Amino acid sequence: MYIVVTGAAGFVGANIVKALSDRGDYEIIAVDDLKQGDKFVNLVDCDIADYFHHEDFMQELEGGAFDGVIGAILHQGACSDTTETDGRYMMHNNYRYTRQLFDYCMEEEIQFIYASSAAVYGAGAVFREEPACESPLNIYGYSKYLFDQYLRRNWNECTAQVVGLRYFNVYGEREQHKGRMASVAYHFFNQYRASGKVRLFEGTAGYGNGEQRRDFVAVADAVRVNLHFLDNPQRSGIFNVGTGAAQSFNDVAVATVNACRAHAGETALSLAALQSQGLIEYIPFPADLKGKYQSYTQADIGALRAAGYKAPMLTVEVGVADYVGALCKRAEG
């Protein structure tokens, strides 16, 4: 039986493919759009059975080429650019394609695990998997929200496991292709190597400079959650994937700079010391993000824990330090 991963050369998708490949128990079909060809590097160390362009895969699927030979689809493919304004493209790529995969999986009784997003919550203060908490601020968030709503309307029609995973702010390996949509940890690392300092937004929405807070989750934890549900096909639902603890952008900056300093044999510095020495500086909050920016997110992971996922989540201090340390080693060749 095949395991299909869409968005397989992307950030979370490639990490899932790598984890499945390391298990050695699956024939993996990778599905993606390699118009951005440099994403191939994310799959070089993975063992896959076949690769399909995402539109070609859908044609093969609907033509019956894979009937009876797929055990699960882990659907990670999407346009994740929160500043994308082409609604037709976003809805086709994120909503309609997901619906087609879901409908096929229910016809064939195939496990379906898909990527939703914390963007469905918008500027709310409560991040629980309930419609009353959901109010997306952009078309990306809306495209994810709309499929979640479609699933809720069709729960009684489900013939197999269906799991929606609402990722919060994921960071980690295999995100180098994402450009400006890469994690702040990745950007801070590159800023520090290039200029010896990192730049954060000034305060907004009542938050001090760099004190906007997000639930930063390591991609390794996101992968472990996917595998948990793959291994437990009796559990369905929509679940937040975060640490359950918001941390500030200042926390990420401190962890990033100190990991770089540790790699260079230098001592760690406090936030105040980094600020006073000009290693952390603040820039004006972008006008085009006002009203469209989540200044605070913190996953309520009660439902995830109730579904049997008990593993601890990495904090920024541990997860970012490990990630940036690996980036430092790679940068030196």
Of the candidates 194, 188, 215, 179, the residue with the CA atom closest to the CA atom of residue 281:
188
Q: How many residues does the chain have?
A: 333
Enumerate residues 6+ apart whose C-beta is below 8 A from 153: none
Q: How far apart are CA 253 and CA 192, in angstroms?
A: 10
Angle at 298 between CA 122 and CA 216, to 5 degrees: 100
Active-site hit among 140, 142, 296, 323: 140
Cα 73 to Cα 21, 212, 272: the distances in Å are 15, 35, 47
Q: Are strands 213-214 and 247-248 parallel, antiparallel or unpaired?
A: antiparallel
323 catalytic? Reply is no
How far is Cα of residue 56 from the mean position of the Cα atoms in its chain?
24
Provide DSSP, 178-224.
GGGGS-HHHHHHHHHHHHS-EEEEPP-TT--TT--EE-EEEHHHHHH
Selected catalytic residue, list 178, 207, 292, 293: 178
Amino acid in the structure at residue 211:
E
Find the DSSP H helices in the chain: 11-23, 54-62, 87-90, 97-108, 139-153, 184-195, 219-231, 249-263, 271-276, 302-306, 316-331
Q: At what angle do helices 11-23 and 219-231 cross, to 10 degrees?
A: 50
Single-letter code of the amino acid located at 271:
L
Residue 39 designated active-site: no
Residue 177: closest CA among 17, 44, 11: 11
Question: What amino acid positions are annotated as catalytic residues?
Answer: 140, 178
